[in-house]
Amino acid sequence: MRKLMMTTAVATLIATGCISAFSQEVKEVEMLHWWTSGGEAAALNVLKTDLANEGFGWKDVPVAGGGGDAAMTALKAMVAAGTYPTASQMLGYSVLDYAAAGVMGDLTETAIKEGWDKSVPLALQQFSVYDGKWVAAPVNIHSVNWLWISKPVMEKIGGTEPKTFDDLIALLDKAKAAGVVPLALGGQDWQEATMFDSVVLSTGGPEFYKKAFNDLDEESLGSDTMNQSFDNLAKLISYVDPNFAGRDWNLATAMVIKDEALVQVMGDWAKGEFSAAKEAPDTDFLCYRFPGTDGSVIYNSDMFGMFNVPEDRKAAQIALATATLSPSFQSAFNVVKGSVPARTDVPDTDFDACGKKGMADLKAANDGGTLFGSLAQGYGAPPAIANAYKDVVTKFVHGQIKTSEEAVTELVKAINDAR
């Protein structure tokens, strides 16, 4: 009789959800990401430490490759096999694609409790909320229209901040004459297209960039201004070293850190590499907006897309989401990463000069209507279109498309085919 009573009691607890009949809560986060460089890994350790302090372990699923293409291929295979990670680093349109496929979790209860709708900019909510439900936690806001310059090389050549594209070309000529590599670039499609984002904004201005790369206006894509943008890209490519093909982005940053090259055009994740090398802005390196783009910000955002995991893994997922958007983490992480917080109520107190400028620029662009999604980085258009764009740009850079006129024709065709 006593055994029967105990069995009945246990069954009651199971039915009321007080204990699980099958498994205990999994105190581990499984994260798929492509943060494998020194600065990126250091930034991710901030989150690992925060979660460890709350009793949650961490299982890395790192996939090297700065643009994330390899990681997204790995994620697609995991989802197809039904082995969802707790979360995956993702970019905007990829989040929406997986949400539409019905495989994302629901963070709405946590989001309401934490007030994310009041602190996360609407530009990010457009990608982290699907069908009224929060499915991703924004980690940061990056901007791509930056120049990163070696201060010792700048002083050596007597250079000053370039305010126009012609100023930039003159500066690169000075570096070339001094025997220094003028432009550090990795010859990978996403790096080349990221630089072209800035070139197009500089050449055509904010309204043109929006029409061409956010609205996908065919007239703008096929215009003389786009032709001139490709001409300007060709000028820049003439200043890279012969060994640039296939170089990873952080190795290009290292060329500037080591004073082997003058400048890199790259998103602000590059600053994480300078920080990891113990270099400081205005002392060892300089950060300027790409000439002709002041007042505008081309952005992307790393997000942790949260998958529809089993009940025993949801507590770890909620802990990850809560930690990610906590003001303390947003400050500590982005100070290391080089980006700026994904919420607007985080003070800039702990940020360096480049970080403070990034936060001020973001606010001004957001207020002024000149905050634009990066086509190269997955925030200007869906992945198929972004991939078509990157393909045309890289073929032009590597000589498979010979002229700017041909590049414009190919760009219009490729984007129309990908729609």
Which string of DSSP letters, residue by residue, matches 151-166? Answer: HHHHHHHT-----SHH
Q: Provide the pLDDT for residue 64.
A: 80
DSSP structural state of residue 205: -
Q: Provide the pLDDT for residue 120.
A: 93
Q: Which domain holds residue 350?
A: 22-142+301-357
Please identify which residue in the block is written with the tokens 């992307």.
300
Cα dihedral 206, 212, 218, 223 sign: positive
Distance, in Å, from the CA atom of 28 to the CA atom of 374, rounded to the nearest integer, reads: 33
Q: Provide the pLDDT for residue 7.
A: 40
- Write down which residue in 312, 339, 357 finishes a domain: 357
Q: Provide the pLDDT for residue 401.
A: 98
233 and 287, same domain (yes or no): yes
233 and 267, same domain (yes or no): yes
Distance, in Å, from the CA atom of 244 to the CA atom of 198, rounded to the nearest integer, reads: 19
Residue 300 and residue 144 in contact, taking contact as beta carbons nearer than 8 Å? yes
- Write down which residue in 357, 384, 400 finishes a domain: 357
- Write down which residue in 340, 357, 374 finishes a domain: 357
SS3 115: coil
Residues of the chain with pLDDT under 70: 1-23, 66-67
Q: Within a domain: residue 413?
A: yes
Residue 270 and residue 146 in contact, taking contact as beta carbons nearer than 8 Å? yes
Distance, in Å, from the CA atom of 187 to the CA atom of 396, rounded to the nearest integer, reads: 12
Q: Within a domain: residue 40?
A: yes
* Residue 254 CA from chain centroid, whole number: 19
Instruction: List alpha helices for 90-137, DSSP H.
Output: 92-100, 108-114, 116-119, 122-128
CATH code assigned at 277: 3.40.190.10
Q: Within a domain: residue 78?
A: yes
Encoded tokens for 259: 């004073």
307 and 344, same domain (yes or no): yes
Distance, in Å, from the CA atom of 117 to the CA atom of 111, rounded to the nearest integer, reads: 7
99 and 222, same domain (yes or no): no
287 and 382, same domain (yes or no): yes
Q: How far is CA 250 from CA 117, 180, 329, in A?
A: 34, 19, 24
Please identify which residue in the block is written with the tokens 């901007």.
143
Distance, in Å, from the CA atom of 121 to the CA atom of 363, rounded to the nearest integer, reads: 10
295 and 329, same domain (yes or no): no
248 and 318, same domain (yes or no): no
CB neighbours of 169 closer than 8 A, spacing ≥ 6?
235
151 and 272, same domain (yes or no): yes
30 and 81, same domain (yes or no): yes
Q: Within a domain: residue 165?
A: yes
Q: Provide the pLDDT for residue 230.
A: 98
| Domain count of the fold of the chain | 2
Q: Within a domain: residue 11?
A: no
Q: Within a domain: residue 14?
A: no
The single-letter code of the amino acid at 111 is: A
Residue 312 and residue 170 in contact, taking contact as beta carbons nearer than 8 Å? no
Encoded tokens for 286: 């300089």
Query: Which residues, in sequence order, are bridge partners of residue 286?
Result: 149
177 and 285, same domain (yes or no): yes
Distance, in Å, from the CA atom of 84 to the CA atom of 13, rounded to the nearest integer, reads: 29
282 and 342, same domain (yes or no): no
Residue 340 phi/psi, 5° resolution? -120, 160
Q: Within a domain: residue 16?
A: no
197 and 290, same domain (yes or no): yes
The single-letter code of the amino acid at 247 is: R
Q: Provide the pLDDT for residue 19.
A: 38
Phi-psi bin for 261: left (phi > 0), alpha (psi -120 to 50), beta? beta
Residue 321 phi/psi, 5° resolution? -65, -45
